[in-house]
Amino acid sequence: MRRVFCFLCCALFFCFLMTSQADSEETNTLNMSRQTKRCLDCHENASPGIVEDWRASLHSATTPKMALAKERLTRRMSADSVKENLGDVIVGCYECHSLNTDKHQDSFNHFGLKINVVVSPQDCSICHPSEVKEYVPSKKGYAFSNLEKNPVYKTLVKTVISQKAIKDEKVEMLEESDHTKMDTCYGCHGTEVKVDGLKKVFSGPLILNVPNLINWPNQGVGRINPDGSQGSCAACHPRHSFSIDIARKPYTCAQCHLEPDVPAWNVYKESKHANIYSSKFIYWNFKEVPWVLGKDFMTPTCAACHNSLIVTPKNKVIAERTHDFGARLWVRIFGLIYSHAQPAKGETYIIKNKDGLPMPTDFITNPASEYLINRDEQSARKKGMMNLCIACHSTGWVENHFVKLDSTIAETDKMVLNATLLLTDAWGKNLADKTNPFDEVIEHKWITQWLFYANSIRYASAMTGAPDYAAFKNGWWEMTKNLTAMEDWIKVHKNK
Amino acid sequence: MRRVFCFLCCALFFCFLMTSQADSEETNTLNMSRQTKRCLDCHENASPGIVEDWRASLHSATTPKMALAKERLTRRMSADSVKENLGDVIVGCYECHSLNTDKHQDSFNHFGLKINVVVSPQDCSICHPSEVKEYVPSKKGYAFSNLEKNPVYKTLVKTVISQKAIKDEKVEMLEESDHTKMDTCYGCHGTEVKVDGLKKVFSGPLILNVPNLINWPNQGVGRINPDGSQGSCAACHPRHSFSIDIARKPYTCAQCHLEPDVPAWNVYKESKHANIYSSKFIYWNFKEVPWVLGKDFMTPTCAACHNSLIVTPKNKVIAERTHDFGARLWVRIFGLIYSHAQPAKGETYIIKNKDGLPMPTDFITNPASEYLINRDEQSARKKGMMNLCIACHSTGWVENHFVKLDSTIAETDKMVLNATLLLTDAWGKNLADKTNPFDEVIEHKWITQWLFYANSIRYASAMTGAPDYAAFKNGWWEMTKNLTAMEDWIKVHKNK
Amino acid sequence: MRRVFCFLCCALFFCFLMTSQADSEETNTLNMSRQTKRCLDCHENASPGIVEDWRASLHSATTPKMALAKERLTRRMSADSVKENLGDVIVGCYECHSLNTDKHQDSFNHFGLKINVVVSPQDCSICHPSEVKEYVPSKKGYAFSNLEKNPVYKTLVKTVISQKAIKDEKVEMLEESDHTKMDTCYGCHGTEVKVDGLKKVFSGPLILNVPNLINWPNQGVGRINPDGSQGSCAACHPRHSFSIDIARKPYTCAQCHLEPDVPAWNVYKESKHANIYSSKFIYWNFKEVPWVLGKDFMTPTCAACHNSLIVTPKNKVIAERTHDFGARLWVRIFGLIYSHAQPAKGETYIIKNKDGLPMPTDFITNPASEYLINRDEQSARKKGMMNLCIACHSTGWVENHFVKLDSTIAETDKMVLNATLLLTDAWGKNLADKTNPFDEVIEHKWITQWLFYANSIRYASAMTGAPDYAAFKNGWWEMTKNLTAMEDWIKVHKNK
């Protein structure tokens, strides 16, 4: 009997310790590689924040073999096997920063070890190949190239972020800098990280020779890495905790998908979904795999609808995991002049519309259909999304919601077309010059019509409600006011 | 002694279990009605999100009889009794979705049971009559009708959200769609939900005949329901958890009361109150009834000042519960051209001002006093609000605060009047056409003066501080800039 | 053996109680002063919110002698000793509200005790002298005077917040009110709190004579207090909990440092730092002194980079505590026309630039160098900040980051200079009048260029990323659009 008490007390004490210590304090050193031990010896002092972040991660407490032993739904590794030397040690500094060094231009000799500064999707794919295979060819994977290789976008970028000079009372465009590219568009889209030899850095008492990275730091989703690969897993799984709960929280997506041009986060925040999320998230579990609707969480975050593996409390799969974030979408509602069917491929710069431009529609709404998914694919994806909604809403509710969305998309496209007609009129009357369609007052108004306002309304309609956003914030009020202001601008400039 | 240990250990283990399980996992099926059991049999698979949400609710763990047994301050039911058939079973699907079916046009035969799709305030009033009696005749209850039956508002709505066309270089108004009404104004104000017979839906392997609801889904506060009642309890007590802690969190009110036109949430977020709330809410208790100031929470959320039952740690009532959210307010500071005493009745469309319009003031600030509460009622309500403030602030502090608010209200009204004078001047000179006062460039400027900026400043003053909001964000900077822009617009258009 | 069990069980039970009760329920009355006991007797009923807030504070559970006994890094008191009468009692109402009564114009006889309404930094310095010594002479300490005694700022303030009238179709400036000053600029900067004799207040059944405070309530950072001192500790350590975890949360700084003019908070919210903070803060510890990077928190909040004492898990100091919030900064990136080296002193109104104005640069970017810190001091501070970054980022990463920031600062200054050139052009052509540089349409555009947009971009670059903020939100898009609009405005007005 005493032993039973003893056991119970110990068990209780242990449980108590577990709950009061959110993270284990000591790294499990049992299965740590010799090289990672060496890394930690210095970096514990040189960069303690990185080390502690990693210590709180699953990587520091798991070997690939342990991860491989899990059943399909609960598995976090998609590889079937890993090389012997990696399987039995926890996933430490060296295990990730020493992969594919031959391909890495940022590889360097660091106290006798060959180390890459940047860990790329190609490296992560050793253990997580499915995720990388989905991500890399997607629009996100191509986010850098889709901006850089599309002359229309390049012109918009240059017009906005280039240095300017004033000459004869006129604003003149100069060049844009790489630094400002990193601060703005390429901060989200990703930069092309290059290596320009080695440079000396002073690290405490030491002088080190390290790769001189250009266009770095950057964690944009389509980053071109020094091993030639594209993408950045750290964009959504930041730093060294690689935490799935961070990726599932909406703040991750909100880094780039926010007002005024991609207001997914702002619209979500106003919705009923977010009302419940914000009120209740502290009681929810964002760590479990698979993610159980109704047990782990009650309302969706971005991840739930767009990429996570979701199951019912009875373990029935509602949606399979995907790291192609457009895979569940049938229509593209932002970023371009008019809405259109999702592009068939991640490389959107290959599209050619009727005007010969790499844009998914022409100037008056006609789609470049051969580069876009067809109606069957659209229907299939829409049905998949409806299946997610139906887990919490009645079928009639869901059907009505999507009929409304279709109507909103059509109406906003017309409101953009109205702005295009006024702009064309101004061009026709020589009140503005169409050479660069992005650099004059009336052209700025036209841009806001599609890039800010039509987008916002479509998001508000799609994501189940942000009525004030669609009305007065960045919605119908602004769209209507903008048309009136364009009309007024034409009138004032015509009569001069 | 051993029995004492045994008891202690068991107690500890039990406590531990309680803290680690936020919500009970299994629904209490003991007192579940036969009909609700049938609902769950299917819906656990067909819509697991709804079922789990309900399982986490108090409704799933309480019978009306249990709820009625509580003492006055702790009671959550306001009915004195309920019909025998409802009293002894937990509040399940059938108990709410089967009420007053004769009045419900959305009632249908669902596997042999008569089910309403929409649960209305009239249905909720079976157990919660006081709440419904306060809510329904309030401005919130009339939110749909106050928009729909007021020709001035209707013109503003139509001007903003109607489709447009470009004709002879001019913007022309077409019709507005029901879908866009739902996406915008009526998203918050509520729609008129109608039933157009039955329609077939495909639910997994089944084909069901369900009511074909029009203007649905919607959870606007003044929704007209298919039983003829008005209001939506789900606007603030969302989905099937009916959670009081969601309603008490500011994200609930923030769905509709946010910038630019009703910036209560934005102003609150910048305030000292919200600084403390945001820093500390994870340690507070939003579930207790009554809500104990200083124990359960330290600074107010919207609910604390505007509707909750608040008591001191010694159980002295500081404020009684109300579901008329204007009941504690004496002055109306948003939504209209000038501030004014609160309307005497919830139906504001019955008001007539000196100009014969259904507006609480005329065009130059004079109130339509006979439709507004009188000075005595204003004083009484203000005193009640001061009583709330005094629970945490000294009397001198509170008095000064409200003197400042009065001054801010007077100053902002004058700044709007300045804009009105400039607009009248433009109309007088035929630079703009007063037929529709909402559709020209200078009229848009005039609208923002009262609908966005004067409102924002008054909120910032009333809710103890959002200095930057009142200064540069949507406040004095914008108000002053706007007058200057109106002056400039007149000058430019006059000289053409 | 039984005693061991007994001890274990009791210990467990105690631990459990501690975790389930966030705050102790009963004030420790053992060491409470006789006077504070008297305060509580009434105020427990008269202002229970204040009393409970204090009961949850460390002040209510600590005597100065206990606080003095801690070792350097863990100490929260910076005094070496306190007077005998204060040392042995907990820090209650009377202990703070009865200090230096001879200096306090707001001192009054309150039921036989001499009580000050306002507790000033001078009073707090009895126990916390280092904090006050750092704070008071800093820019924050001088925030009131730096606004009030600088004629350029005064003109801007007056132009923005003064009442206006319309006369002959023109906007005319009248006076600004003290109430609106409190609502806006002086809400953050602080007011000058004065005492105008006594006034009667009705407090429940009692009539009290209390000091009649003018420009009160206010918690602005540079408040002038009724004892002649400047500053308000309550600005960041609000109300009666004096909670260090509130001060360390970003919502505290966000009360004043937010868009559009000081968008530190908005930029932080979009950053990777905040992505991690928002996802994880509920698991972090904001109460410990010193604050341990990697244990207590993983990513910085404002306080971590700008003022907290930060140590590594091995207790190595990364940054010492400071309450001069500019002490770690080398360049000033907001609030003025062009960026410049940090002012050498907190009193910035003493600066004189080449034009003879109290501004740190002249109208075309030249710094008033003798009033600013020199290059050596700039380098030293920058190095200190880099040292903080290096705790979590590689040296190469950090160096690149600051090179980019320098580039961003130079580019944004040029973009502001472009706006200045256009404005000067408009003045030269008599299209606008330079007498007041803040009150015409083109001048408003010029102000937004530096006060809103250039600032926003610099913040976004400095605080490791808010790409959309720097691009479309309040950044390059707006800066470029603004120059184009200024050019257009000149063209339209020239031709009239």
Q: Chain A contacts of B2, Cβ < 8 Å?
A: 1, 5
CA distance A342 to A335: 12
Among candidates C405, C342, C335, C347, which has minimal Cα distance to C368? C342
The answer, yes or no, to whether residue B8 has pLDDT greater than 60, is no
C125 and C273 assigned to the same domain: no
Q: Which residue has the higher pLDDT, C21 or B427?
A: B427
The answer, yes or no, to whether residue C91 has pLDDT greater than 50, is yes
CA distance C460 to C266: 9
Chains contacting A (3+ CB pairs below 8 angstroms) = B, C
B203 and B311 assigned to the same domain: no
A361 and A387 assigned to the same domain: yes
Distance from C28 to chain B by nearest Cα, in Å? Answer: 17
CA distance C286 to C398: 26
> Considering the domain boundaries, does residue C156 fall inside one?
no
CA distance C403 to C386: 12
> What sign has the CA pseudo-torsion A241, A242, A246, A252?
positive
At residue B205, the pLDDT reads 85
Please report the residues numbered 5 through 24 in chain B whose beta carbons come closer than 8 angstroms to any beta carbon of chain A: 5-6, 9, 12-13, 16, 19-20, 22-23
A228-A232-A234 Cα angle (round to 5): 145
B382 and B487 assigned to the same domain: yes
Q: Are the CB atoms for C94 and C35 separated by under 8 Å?
A: yes
The answer, yes or no, to whether residue C23 has pLDDT greater than 50, is no
CA distance C401 to C399: 5
Residues B440-456 pLDDT 10s? 999 999 999 999 999 99
Output the average pLDDT for chain C: 94
Angle between helices C375-390 and C395-428 (to 10 degrees): 130
At residue B84, the pLDDT reads 82
CA distances from A477 to A415, B107, B288, B478 (A): 12, 38, 41, 17
> Considering the domain boundaries, does residue C358 fall inside one?
yes
Q: What percent of chain B has pLDDT over 70?
A: 94
State whether residue C188 is helix, strand or coil. helix
pLDDT band at residue B167 using 50, 70 and 90 as cut-offs: very high
Among candidates C200, A171, A272, which has minimal Cα distance to B252? A272
Among candidates B341, B6, B354, which has minimal Cα distance to A2? B6
Nearest by CB: C180 against B15, B272, B408: B408
Encoded tokens for B484: 């200057």
At residue C465, the pLDDT reads 81
At residue A315, the pLDDT reads 96
Residues C243-297 pLDDT 10s? 999 999 999 999 999 999 999 999 999 999 999 999 999 999 999 999 999 999 9
Q: What is the mean pLDDT of residues A457-469?
A: 93
CA distance C390 to A353: 49
CATH at B431:
1.20.850.10
At residue A23, the pLDDT reads 38
Contact A411/B163, CB-based, under 8 Å? Answer: yes
Q: Which residue of A has its CA nearest to B5?
A: A5
pLDDT band at residue C85 using 50, 70 and 90 as cut-offs: confident
Nearest by CB: B441 against A400, A461, A484: A484
- Does B201 reach chain A within 8 Å, measured CB to CB? yes
Contact A470/B184, CB-based, under 8 Å? Answer: yes
> Considering the domain boundaries, does residue C142 fall inside one?
yes
In the listed set A184, A203, A235, which residue is the last one of a domain according to the structure? A235
B278 and B335 assigned to the same domain: yes
A43 and A128 assigned to the same domain: no
Encoded tokens for B364: 């130059």
At residue C20, the pLDDT reads 38
CA distance A485 to A479: 10
Q: Is the peptide bond before C263 cis (omega within 30 degrees of 0)?
A: no
B181 and B257 assigned to the same domain: no
Contact B160/A471, CB-based, under 8 Å? Answer: yes
Distance from A469 to chain C by nearest Cα, in Å? Answer: 15
C361 and C302 assigned to the same domain: yes
The answer, yes or no, to whether residue C147 has pLDDT greater than 80, is yes
Distance from A464 to chain B by nearest Cα, in Å? Answer: 9
Output the average pLDDT for chain B: 94
B163 and B263 assigned to the same domain: no
- Distance from CA of residue B431 to its chain's centroid? 40
Identify residue A269 by its one-letter amino acid code: K
Distance from C292 to chain A by nearest Cα, in Å? Answer: 10
The answer, yes or no, to whether residue C9 has pLDDT greater than 90, is no
CA distance B191 to B225: 9
At a CB cut-off of 8 Å and minimum separation 6, what does A12 contact? B9, B12, B13, B16, C12
Q: Chain A contacts of C10, Cβ < 8 Å?
A: none
> Considering the domain boundaries, does residue C13 fall inside one?
no
Identify residue C195 by its one-letter amino acid code: V
Q: Under the phi-then-psi rule, with left for phi > 0, alpha for psi from -120 to 50, and beta for the rest, what region is B242?
A: left
Contact B411/C177, CB-based, under 8 Å? Answer: yes
The answer, yes or no, to whether residue A163 has pLDDT greater than 50, is yes
Residue C372: strand pairing partners: C343
At residue B30, the pLDDT reads 67
Q: Which residue has the higher pLDDT, A13 or B393?
A: B393
pLDDT band at residue A5 using 50, 70 and 90 as cut-offs: low
> Considering the domain boundaries, does residue A178 fall inside one?
yes
At residue A484, the pLDDT reads 98
Please report the residues numbered 283 through 342 in chain C whose beta carbons come closer than 8 angstroms to any beta carbon of chain B: none
Distance from B27 to chain A by nearest Cα, in Å? Answer: 13
The answer, yes or no, to whether residue B464 has pLDDT greater than 90, is no
Nearest by CB: C171 against B16, B408, B487: B487
C217 and C91 assigned to the same domain: yes
C271 and C231 assigned to the same domain: no
At residue C21, the pLDDT reads 40
At residue C30, the pLDDT reads 67
Domain count, chain B: 2
A144 and A87 assigned to the same domain: no
The answer, yes or no, to whether residue C353 has pLDDT greater than 60, is yes
In the listed set A66, A97, A128, which residue is the last one of a domain according to the structure? A97
- Distance from CA of residue C123 to its chain's centroid? 19
> Considering the domain boundaries, does residue C132 fall inside one?
yes
Encoded tokens for C77: 């008191």
> Considering the domain boundaries, does residue B380 fall inside one?
yes
Q: What is the mean pLDDT of residues A428-442?
A: 98
Q: What is the mean pLDDT of residues C141-151?
A: 97
Q: Chain B contacts of C201, Cβ < 8 Å?
A: 395-396, 399
- Does B448 reach chain A within 8 Å, measured CB to CB? no
Q: Which residue of C has its CA nearest to A286?
A: C279
At residue C15, the pLDDT reads 43
CA distance B216 to B156: 23
The answer, yes or no, to whether residue B5 has pLDDT greater than 90, is no
Residues A183-241 pLDDT 10s? 999 999 999 999 999 999 998 889 999 999 999 999 999 999 999 999 999 999 999 99
At residue C205, the pLDDT reads 85
The answer, yes or no, to whether residue B4 has pLDDT greater than 60, is no
Residues C313-337 pLDDT 10s? 999 999 999 999 999 999 999 999 9
At residue C18, the pLDDT reads 41
At residue A22, the pLDDT reads 36
Residue pointed to by tokens 């299946």: A387
Distance from A414 to chain B by nearest Cα, in Å? Answer: 8
Considering only CA atoms, give the Rg of chain C: 26
Residues A234-269 pLDDT 10s? 999 999 999 999 999 999 999 999 999 999 999 999
At residue A17, the pLDDT reads 41
> Considering the domain boundaries, does residue B21 fall inside one?
no
Q: Chain B contacts of A276, Cβ < 8 Å?
A: 238-239, 246
- Does A487 reach chain B within 8 Å, measured CB to CB? yes
ipTM, two decimals, is: 0.93
In the listed set A235, A268, A296, which residue is the last one of a domain according to the structure? A235
Q: Which domain holds residue B381?
A: 244-494
CA distance C118 to C107: 9
Q: Are the CB atoms for B171 and A487 separated by under 8 Å?
A: yes
Encoded tokens for B376: 């005595």
Residue A331: strand pairing partners: A341
Distance from B294 to chain C by nearest Cα, in Å? Answer: 5
Residues C55-78 pLDDT 10s? 999 999 999 999 999 999 999 999
At residue C496, the pLDDT reads 66
Return the number of other C-beta atoms located less than 10 Å from residue A75's C-beta.
Answer: 15
User: Which of A180, A212, A241 should we substitute to test contact with C (largest number of C Cβ atoms within 10 Å)?
Assistant: A180
pTM of the model: 0.94
Beta strands in A11-167 (DSSP E): 107-110, 113-116, 164-167
Considering only CA atoms, give the Rg of chain B: 26
pLDDT band at residue A29 using 50, 70 and 90 as cut-offs: low
Q: Which residue has the higher pLDDT, B4 or B101?
A: B101
Contact A397/B13, CB-based, under 8 Å? Answer: no
Q: Which residue of A has its CA nearest to C467?
A: A184
Contact B164/A418, CB-based, under 8 Å? Answer: yes
